[in-house]
Amino acid sequence: MGIKFRLTILSFMQFFVWGAWLITIATYFFSNGMGTGAQFGAIFSTLALSSIIMPPLTGIIADKWLDAEKLYGILHICYGGVLFYVTTVHDADKLYYAIFGAMLCYMPTISLSNSISYTILKNNNFDVVKVFPPIRVWGTIGFIVAMWTTNLTGSKANTNQFLIAGIAAIALGIYSFTLPKCAPQKSISSDASIFEQLGLNAFKLFAKYKTALFFIFSMFLGAALQLTNMYGDTYLDDFKNNALYGPESFVVKYSTIIMSISQISETAFILSIPFFLKRFGIKNVMLFSMIAWVLRFGLFAYGNPADGLWMIIVSCIVYGMAFDFFNISGSLFIETTTDSSIRSSAQGLFMMMSNGVGALIGSRVSGYLIDRYFTLAGGGKDWHNIWLSFAGYAAVIAVLFLVLFKHKHDPKEVGSVAH
């Protein structure tokens, strides 16, 4: 079995074990009456907390003491074990700690999977820039296949979704022990302070106006991403309670498959990024992402399973632009505006602000607001106004970004991406 194929399996499984439940956990939570919106927001915020806490710590372990593929395998086996425990939990408070435990194991494996792939490809004399992207695309495909598996097996509102993910995670953990050795690089000096070892020296970038502004907007966009992951599937599933559509509606029965159009769209928009970056520049591509978030939420607000189905489909399609354009162009902004000595730490800070702090705020605040302002007397949700408020939030961010963020387009910045 060739190296590229083995790493493709790694990438596919890495996101399969997450996609099996991430988009459908809200449907499971609310369909089974496990708690309030605020409680679900707290549960979903464990993804963000884990993104802040674990990657720096596991990065140090893999860099100094333990082979990366072994650490990766241990974490996935633990993750699978915790998911088995999740199937026994039936109230919001216990579910919070169970999902938190699962995320402490899973979230650091995302960066570890990239590091393992980079190391193995380099050790086998592959061109990483050329070879890795096609391998990584299979991660998105794995996420999509997991969503379809959960939906088609009738698992989106029960604990089977966690069993699917748990079995696959343990299999992935065992598989990782068969990968080529990724020994500690010991690139961190033993004399480095804990501040430097954790990559916190990048925080000095907040002293620069433009970079600080970029990180703040990254936080706001990270919050927007959580809104989609948290509520997209349960929003579609809730049409079963509307007499006009009912539980046999195509949108209700196959809500997770419809949501997977978002991930399919990602793969298409990734391919278009070099053109947009070269033609419009980093700032405008980031702005396009924010406008796409407005469309994502606004179309959901007016969509329905009948004459408004096209709005739901288009909303899922524009998600690819909303997600990819900011993440890729933001990463490139860091690459071209920071000193090489802190560039890796700066990239980590970018992910911390978007997937960590921003996601934490989005999870917590949205849960509270939905409980306070958008929950109906019978316990249902006012989805129309929920999505309109989210669209308004994204529109305000887009306008502020257009006015406040100043960055001149330089075609040289995107040369490496375009090629």
Contact 215, 206 (CB under 8 A): yes
Q: Residues 313, 213: one domain? A: yes
Does 88 fall in a domain? yes
Q: Residues 256, 221: one domain? A: yes
Q: Residue 284: which CATH number?
A: 1.20.1250.20
* Parent domain of 147: 1-180
Q: Report how many domains make up the chain.
A: 2
Q: Residues 88, 227: one domain? A: no
Assess whether pLDDT exceeds 60 at residue 150.
yes
Q: Which of 29-33, 85-89, 189-193, 273-277 has the lowest mean pLDDT?
A: 189-193
Does 185 fall in a domain? no
Q: Which of 55-69, 100-114, 260-274 has the lowest mean pLDDT?
A: 55-69
Q: How many CA atoms lie within 13 A of 94 on its CB side?
A: 10
Hunting for tokens 């593929």 — which residue is that? 69
pLDDT for the residue 22? 93
Does 197 fall in a domain? no
Does 355 fall in a domain? yes
Does 194 fall in a domain? no
With bands split at pLDDT 50, 70 and 90, how would you rate the model's confidence at 251? very high
Q: Residues 263, 121: one domain? A: no
Residue 76 to residue 116: CA distance in whole angstroms: 14
- How many CB atoms within 10 Å of residue 221? 26
Hunting for tokens 């006015």 — which residue is that? 403
Left (φ > 0), alpha (ψ -120 to 50) or beta: where does 182 sit?
beta
pLDDT for the residue 382? 93
Q: Residues 233, 364: one domain? A: yes
Sign of CA dihedral 25, 30, 35, 40: positive
Q: Residues 228, 83: one domain? A: no
Q: Residues 258, 144: one domain? A: no
* Pick from 115, 160, 148, 150: nearest CA to 11: 115
Q: Residues 5, 100: one domain? A: yes
pLDDT for the residue 419? 37
Does 297 fall in a domain? yes
Contact 21, 173 (CB under 8 A): no
Please give the share of the chain, as a percent, with pLDDT higher than 90. 44
Instruction: Quick: pLDDT tens for 64-85.
Output: 678 888 889 999 999 999 999 9
* Pick from 170, 140, 171, 133: nearest CA to 22: 140
Assess whether pLDDT exceeds 80 at residue 410.
no
Q: Residues 379, 239: one domain? A: yes
202 vs 258, higher pLDDT: 258
Does 402 fall in a domain? yes
Q: Residues 17, 157: one domain? A: yes
State how far the alpha carbon of 386 is from the alpha carbons of 184, 227, 312, in Å.
Answer: 47, 10, 15
Residue type, 213: L
Mean model confidence pLDDT for the chain: 86
Residue 370 to residue 373: CA distance in whole angstroms: 6
